[in-house]
Amino acid sequence: MSAQTVYAPDAERLRRLDAMGVRVYRLRSATPRAGEPASPAADAAANAAGVRLLVVSDEARTPAADAIVRTLGVADAAIGWCVARGGKLDALDLDAGAYLVLGEHLARVLGAELPTATQQRASIVVAAAPSALRGDAMAKRLLWQALKPLKRRLAVR
C-alpha cells in the first residue's frame, strides 16, 4: 500500500483564504491547528499577551454559550463571563479587548456601562441569545456571520 500525500497549504495561503471567507477543512490530528494553543504554557502565554474576551449573557455559563465561545478558539483563561441582572452587569471588565453580547437586548445595557473610549477601541459583537438558536438555521447562520470577524481579530492578537 502506498503512502498518500496530503495537501497542506502554507500559512500565507490560509490567511488569504480566510480573508475571502473560505473555510479550509483539515483531517483531525493530535497536533494543534493554527490559532490554538499547543500546551497549557502556550495557553498562559496567550492570556498574558492580552487576548481577552468578555461574554455578556443573561444566564451564567451554559453549555450552549460555551459551544458558541469555543468556536472562537480563545483559551479558557482569557475568557471572562458577565451576567446581566436587573439592567446592570456584574463584574464588568473594562480592559477586555473584545465583547461578545449573547442577546440583542443586552447591547444597550453594555453600551450604558462602557465608557466611550472603551467602546471605540474594543470589538463588540452582538448576537442572538443561545436559547433563540434552537431549531432556527437562519439564526445560526447569522450568529456565525457575526462571529467570523471577531474570530479573526482574536486570532491576530
| Residue 24 within a domain | no
Taking the complete model, does pTM exceed 0.75, yes or no? no
How many structural domains compose the chain? Answer: 1
| Residue 69 within a domain | yes
| Residue 11 within a domain | no
Q: What range does the domain containing 137 cover?
A: 50-156
Paired sense of beta strands 53-57 and 88-89, if any: unpaired
Candidates 83, 75, 28, 31; CA nearest to 55 is 83
| Residue 19 within a domain | no
Alpha helices in 24-136 (DSSP H): 40-48, 63-70, 106-113, 116-121
- Return the CATH number at 78: 3.40.50.10220
In tens digits, the chain (157 residues) has pLDDT values of 455 555 666 788 888 888 888 877 765 554 455 545 444 444 444 444 444 788 888 887 888 888 888 888 888 888 888 888 888 888 777 888 889 999 888 989 888 888 888 888 888 999 988 888 888 889 889 989 999 988 888 886 5
| Residue 5 within a domain | no
| Residue 122 within a domain | yes
Kindly report the number of other CB atoms within 10 A of residue 55's CB atom. 22
